[in-house]
A and B are shown apart, each in its own frame.
Chain A
Amino acid sequence: MAFAVMALTLFFMAVGYANNLIYIFFFFLLSVAMTGMVVTNLNVNSVDFGEVLGADITTGEEGRVRITVVNSSDVERFNIETYFDKTKVSKSFSLQGTERSVVEVPFVADKRGLVPLPRLILQSRFPFELLRAWRVFKTPGNVIVYPKRSGSKIFPRGSTDESHANSVGLFRDHRIYQSGDSVRRIDWKASARRQDLMVKNFEEPEKPSLSLDWQQTEGLGDIETRLSQLALWVDEAESQRFEYSLHLGGLILSASSGKEHWRNCMQSLALAQGKDLS
């Protein structure tokens, strides 16, 4: 827009003063802008959307959908950006000739489950950032949106399998008591000294296992709230490096930890249907 105003000013100067030098200047400026427009178009034209690789998206929170983009030409493409309709634009990236790359695109969903992604737009303003060229991919695919994480961070009573709580591991250090920690692990002497509840930290093998169950959320009312609570516990368990299992109606995900297990649990929660849970 500003460029158009500037170009128009130059044009009126050229015509008004009948100055051929300004005409030359104006026409060359215009030609460079036009060439820039063609280059912008070329830059985007050979960049294709590949596939949706997956995403860790929680309802109501901004997440990143991982997609592949492919440069089908053998020349480098610069400053490509991508975004889902009506959401934020990704960081700009460049693609080498024939390069295939994974890009994270911001996305916000307002309900859990298998959600169809909105239109995906690939765009670029290269070279001069004056004009924008874009390509639209109408149905890029689906993505699993995890339930919203809400509720209490305190793990439910009985979720800790006390049989696992042993002190086989060597004592490492003290840490502040967290919900879910066994009362037996509290070091009362240390707590008295520090004016805070301290528990003994042992080497890994002694970490207790959590058992998260649909039934534990019975008192919370509707399904979504219960799923949200379970999602929060799964998240907390993972971040506190517990081993945890999930019982969801007939579905049992045995105790484990790690990103993959967390993702399986969250996906199960995302796709859970009311009739399967009861």
Chain B
Amino acid sequence: MNRQFFAQKYFSLAVLCSMAMVAFEVTPWMAFFAFGLLVWKWGVEKYQWPVLARRWTGLLSVLLLVQVLVQYRTIIGQEPSYTLLVGLSALRVMDYGNDRDHKFVVLLSFILLSVKALFSIDIYWIVPSAFSFWGLWYALLPEQVSARGKTLLRIFALSIPLAVILFFGFPRVVMPWALSRGSTYGQIGFSDELNPGRVAEIAATTQLAFRAKIHQLPLRESRELYWRGSVLSTSQGLSWRPVRNRLNAEPEVPQEHGLTYEVAIEPTSQNFLFTLEGTRNVFMESGRVFSLGPSVFRSLRPLVSTTVYHGEWIKDFVDTNEATVRDLEVPELTGRVLAWVEETRRTHHSLEDRLQALQDFYSKNKFVYTIAPGVYGANGLEEFLFDRRRGFCEHFAGSYATLARALGIPARVVIGYQGGRYNPLGEFWKVAQKDAHAWVEVFHHGHWNRVDPTSWVAPLRLEIGAEEFFGLSEADQLAFAKSSDWRGKKDQQFLLWDRLTFFMEDMNYRWSYFLMDFDRTSQDSIWAALGKYKVFTVIGALFVVLLCLLLARGIFATRKNLSDEQRLLLMIEMWGRQNSLSRAAAEPPLQYLQRLEDAFPKLQQVLKAISRYYDLKMYAVAGSDQSAVELQKQWKKALREIE
């Protein structure tokens, strides 16, 4: 049978939807190529554009393979294989024309749908995925079925119990060769170094970094949340590097019981585990963790899938690790920087004075906090501090720590995230890449103290969070950066849109958390719980079975409502068939009953009664002195007698 792709509305939309979802994730040229082919196919079917012959699509398939090989130097691996898959799918749609192509495209689209799940498990994709899934099955149903949608929904409803049992009951095998999602996906670009522009680059992306549930902790404000990623101790002016091979000894912490919080981090292909200041320990269910110093933790293996870890947090925690000579090392200072340092050293003698001088330097000079400060050259420190004075948090932190060291104050830079957006519905903090931040720690009064130069330059950024701050226009950012009361207090009324966003984020969080947290341990606990509540389990199972039977009975939408007389006739017809006396195709029922009477004289009496009943009810539309149930009983009795 000849088929047209775009003539089948739901089918074509389902295929396009599944292709588009994966096309977002692969190389843009492939997405455009696929889109172009689909437009062509549309033109072929709608406006009789020239058809691309199968030999040309075959040739294009080979060229596509070659192009992918040239671009990626391999065909194995996710990005090349899925890029190729999108292209080949579009070519198959181009060839689409018969039943065989139809089935092939359906199966290919099922694979595309599952490929999408590798890129994102967000709940937002569930709606288009579910639509595609439905549309593809819908396309497999024969067209002559009158209520295709309804039939399919019933089949789906019947399939749910088995799917649920399989999902919860099927043993999760952990493959030793578990595949990685590849280094290019989900990578946040967070690195162990601070180069001018690097943090701004991360912050310019809109991706989610992690979500955290910290409701046990007495931290309520966005400005209190400093998520530590890495501590950098080697100054190169504006740039900073971590000290290699330096594992800080664990600080001595009071042996009090800590409060726990939970973080669900997105895949990064890196080892960073972001923790709040004051985190003593980190536990991860699926992997080992090691510490690089106070509140700095790493996973032993790169995080290739969304991962959950728990932090143990101590109130009033202080890092008392002594500063060393290396915490005072600075690169050679020149020009105006050297002059300022020498002048400040000369005029400010105590440590407090010098810290104040530093604060004054940043708050009194007209520094501008911006995500696009431009590029700084080799003499970047001087240019930044005295000429352009435009920077992002990393510029302020890097330069502050270098100046502090030059003034004889041990200092280091910490990079990570600051703040986040609180979701009151799900009671979690959503920390995005926009919240990437850098700040400073200085050693003084016997321990390390946090200093955030950004809070002097743009307090509003810390007050309202990065997401909202960067949502302002550039002019507003400049004008209101220093006014921390620019917006109302936290207890303001949320807009409907905010509530909707919170709701969706909460749903997404719960969904993602369920998906990533469900493993063998969860399975065991579910079965254990079912075993514990045996009665409820049995009742529940019976209920599901009953529901399935009811659905199965009415699987087809065109079920007829038979009248009593029709039911009676049907019963007799079935008996007749078993006794080699079928009703002919167009034989009137009364005539058939008469024929039965002639053939089986012993049944004559009851058959006459049934004929009369049928005649009255069906044709005369009148009442009868006998009921169908009564006649049915008589009929069965008569049958028993003749047997």
Cβ of A78 within 8 Å of any chain B Cβ, yes or no, is: yes
Q: Is the CB of A17 within 8 A of B178?
A: yes
A32 contacts B155, C-beta separation under 8 Å: yes
| Contact A76–B155 (Cβ < 8 Å) | no
Tell me the bound Cα distance from A29 to B134 in angstroms: 11
B533 → chain A, closest Cβ, in Å?
Answer: 24
Answer whether residue A236 sits at the interface, using C-beta atoms and an 8 A cutoff.
Answer: no
A38 to B514, CA, bound (A): 31
A256 interfacial contact with B, CB 8 Å? no
Contact B585 A35 (CB under 8 A): no
Q: For B555, give its contact among A29, A42, A70, A74 (CB under 8 Å).
A: A42
Of residues 71 through 102 on chain A, the ones whose CB sits less than 8 Å from some CB of chain B are 72, 74-76, 78-79, 94, 96-98, 100-102
Choose among A70, A74, A130 the residue that contacts B582 (Cβ–Cβ < 8 A).
A70
* A10-B110, A13-B118, A70-B577 given; A34·B140 CB < 8 A: no
Nearest B residue (CB) for A34? B162
List B contacts of A70 (CB < 8 A).
Answer: 577, 582
CB of A75 within 8 A of CB of B159, answer no
Known: A18-B174, A127-B155. Is A94-B144 also a contact (CB below 8 A)? yes
Interchain CA distance A42-B146 in the complex, whole Å: 18
Q: A30-B166, A31-B162, A127-B155 are in contact. Are A6 and B110 (CB under 8 A)?
A: yes
With A15-B173, A20-B516, A23-B167 in contact, is A36–B574 under 8 Å at CB? Answer: no
Instruction: Return the chain A residue nearest B562 by Cβ.
Output: A74
Complex contact A9–B111 (CB within 8 A):
yes
CB of B137 within 8 A of CB of A32, answer: yes
Q: State whether A34 and B179 are in contact (beta carbons under 8 Å apart), knowing that A76-B556, A127-B141 are contacts in the complex.
A: no
Instruction: Please tell me if A203 contacts chain B, counting CB pairs below 8 Å.
Output: no
A129 adjacent to chain B (CB < 8 Å): yes
The range of chain B's interface size is: 35 or more
Query: Inside 8 A of B555's CB, which chain A residues have their CB?
Result: 39, 42, 75
Contact string against A for B residues 127-153, beta-carbon threshold 8 Å, 1 for contact and 0 otherwise = 001000100010011101110000110
Residue A176 CB within 8 A of the other chain: no
Q: Among the listed B111, B159, B558, B562, which residue makes an inter-chain contact with A32, where contact means beta carbons less than 8 Å apart?
A: B159
In this assembly, does A223 line the interface, its C-beta being within 8 Å of a C-beta of chain B? no
Q: Which residues of chain A are within 8 angstroms of B179 by Cβ–Cβ distance?
A: 16-17
**B145: contacting residue among A10, A16, A28, A78, CB under 8 A:** A78
Are A16 and B178 closer than 8 Å at their CB atoms?
Answer: yes
Q: How far is the CA of A129 from the CA of B515 in the complex (A)?
A: 32
Complex Cα–Cα for A20 and B137 (A): 22
Interface size class of A (residues with CB under 8 A): 35 or more
Contact of A26 among B114, B137, B560 (CB under 8 A): B114
Interchain CB contact under 8 A, A20 and B515: yes
Q: Within the assembled complex, what's the spacing in Å between the Cα atoms of A126 and B114?
A: 25
CA distance A13 to B116 in the complex (A): 11
Q: CB within 8 Å of A: which of B204-225?
A: none
Q: Please, which residues of chain B bring their CB within 8 A of the CB of A10?
A: 110-111, 114
Task: Tell me if A129 and B162 are in contact (CB < 8 A).
Answer: no
Q: Contacts A19-B118, A26-B114; is A127 near B163 (CB within 8 Å)?
A: no
CB of A192 within 8 Å of the partner chain: no
Query: Does B617 touch A at the CB level, under 8 Å?
Result: no
Decide if B117 is an interface residue (CB 8 Å cutoff): yes
30 A-B contact pairs sorted by A residue (CB < 8 Å): A6-B107, A10-B111, A13-B118, A16-B179, A17-B118, A17-B179, A18-B174, A18-B178, A21-B121, A22-B118, A24-B163, A25-B114, A25-B117, A25-B133, A28-B133, A29-B110, A31-B162, A32-B155, A34-B159, A42-B555, A48-B577, A51-B582, A75-B558, A76-B556, A79-B142, A97-B560, A102-B585, A126-B142, A127-B141, A130-B140
Lowest 9 CB-CB distances: which A-B pairs, in order? A31-B159, A21-B117, A31-B162, A27-B166, A31-B163, A128-B140, A97-B560, A20-B515, A28-B163
- Give me the interface of A with B, judged by CB distance under 8 Å: 2-3, 6, 9-10, 13-32, 34-36, 38-39, 42, 48, 50-51, 68, 70, 72, 74-76, 78-79, 94, 96-98, 100-102, 126-130
